[in-house]
Amino acid sequence: ETGGAAPGRRPTPPLFRRGEDFAPQLGDAAVERIQGPFGEPVWAITTWADGRAVLSDAERFSREQLDLQGVDSPEERRRIRAGNMLTLDPPDHTRLRRAVTAEFTVKRIRNLRPRIEQIVDDHLDRMEAHGSPVDLTDAFAPAIPSLVICELLGVPYADRHDFQSRAATIIDFTLPMETRRQVSLEMRTYMRELVQQHRRDPGDDLLGRLITRRGSGDDPDDLDDDELAGLGNLLLIAGHETTSNMLALGTLVLLRQPDQRRLLVEHPENVDAAVEELLRYLSVVHMALPRVATTDVTIGDVTIPRGDAVVVSLPAANRDPELVEHGRDLDLGRAPTNHMAFGHGIHHCLGAPLARAEMQIAFPRLFARFPDLRLALDDDPDFRTETFIYGVRSLPVAWGPIDAA
Ligand code: HEM
């Protein structure tokens, strides 16, 4: 079993998906000892209740105490983690999260909706002007979240090709750790320059507001340049890689399941629930990132020894019968579930209100503009099996009259 790996690449571990069944390749056990993304053994939690228990317990399951393989110097470890709240425990996590929480409230995001609508419509205009067929992973899916997060943060959209390709490298677990670290450093240098520009001229964007409010160094809660750069990069990467893949995979499954697509198109009042179901069903983030057990912990009949790595399979938890009936099926008509596609606990996705707004706006508008949208594929789509976030590498779609030739 090679997991479909290309020569020289690491095979797809069982936690990750392949093909169009969005369930992971795991057995029935609630806790399994399996191969992690880098070939190392990890404990995988596969149920909804245990998954929530692990993610709510940042004391016994630490992100910060996880070993950074090959990085021995404490100063280097600090720099790698600076500003990246997803790699930190309280109190640093709390301090960073507090600095940006106000930017992502439901109310703040509601005010952004008209601009998101305009961005979506502009991209649909461009698709129409280009004409059928187009690759959705080029024209639509990455473009919308990228432009939204660039405007929000204060990052020049013209730089998108650089940071999109760097982000793709960072989330590719089949590449050597060294390559990924090197690219992270490049991103840090890029963002530090932006932070310094914002120090000279803050402007009315997130980086500017952070510097005005939190960048002076007078308050213990203030952030230094390394932290501002780390935070900026986390938002930039998390802000487009995830939503972009949701838009592409969501379109794929809606085109494959016309009944579901009809539910979306004919019941616009239900769009919020429909997006929750797509989030649950696709669970594009294969797993909550590894935590390390800070003490021996017993879950069911398994004792996880202190020091071992633990991951939560989000797609497995999101299919658990305790959460949802017939969880292997996509059903846009079901009431929203308490799914974990955005994680749970202190690291629950900061950008969830923004991601939701983008999808609630983009899906209905795409299908309203192209009512006869269809896949222009001869074969199965080319799935991204090498990244921490599931997706497709391309998604050709067509509309209008079918070419008789
Ligand atoms: C954290 C999923 C969009 C920013 C997370 C986590 C998940 C997730 C599962 C928790 C990871 C863990 O605990 O190991 C998603 C999905 C998205 C999405 C499925 C789109 C559909 C976004 C957007 C942004 C964002 C648009 C930013 C603008 C973040 C940040 C964290 C995070 C900053 C870390 C929070 C913390 O450590 O406290 N996301 N995300 N995400 N996400 Fe998202």
Nearest residue to 289 via CA among 399, 394, 389: 389
Q: Which residue CA neighbors atom 36 of ligand 1 most closely?
A: 347
Q: Given this model, what pLDDT does residue 2 score?
A: 37
Pocket test for ligand 1, best of 339, 349, 356 (most atoms within 8 A of CB): 349
Say which residue, 388 or 250, is predicted with more confidence.
250
Residue 3 has pLDDT above 70, yes or no: no
Nearest CA to ligand 1 atom 42: 349
Ligand 1 geometric centre to CA of 325 (Å):
26
Measure 31 CA to ligand 1 centroid, in angstroms. 24
> Which has more pLDDT, 243 or 216?
243
pLDDT digits (tens, 9 = 90+) for 127-176: 999 999 999 999 899 999 999 999 999 999 999 888 888 988 888 888 88
Q: Tell me how far apart the alpha carbons of residues 197 and 274 are, in angstroms, rounded to a whole number.
A: 41
Give residues (CB < 6 A) around ligand 1: 85-86, 97, 149, 234-235, 238-239, 242-243, 246, 284-285, 288-289, 341-343, 346-347, 349-351, 354-355
Q: ipTM value of the model?
A: 0.99
Confidence category of residue 376, pLDDT binned at 50, 70, 90: very high
Higher local confidence (pLDDT), 323 or 68: 323
Give the separation between CA 292 and CA 43, rounded to whole angstroms.
10
pTM: 0.95
Q: Which has the closest alpha carbon to 54: 323, 279, 314?
A: 314
Q: What separation in Å is there between the alpha carbon of 395 and the centre of ligand 1?
A: 24
| 402 has a pLDDT exceeding 60 | yes
Q: Tell me the average pLDDT across 196-221.
A: 88
pLDDT grade, residue 85 (50/70/90)? very high
Give the angle 28-34-36 at the CA atoms, nearest 5°: 130
Query: Across all residues in the chain, what is the average pLDDT?
Result: 91
To the nearest 10 degrees (0 to 180), the angle between helices 352-369 and 258-266 is: 100
| pLDDT at residue 136, rounded to an integer | 96
Pocket test of ligand 1: the residue of 109, 246, 277, 342 to mutate, having most ligand atoms within 8 Å of its CB, is 342
pLDDT class for 4, splitting at 50, 70, 90?
very low
Q: Which contiguous run of DSSP H or E holds residue 100?
A: helix 92-101
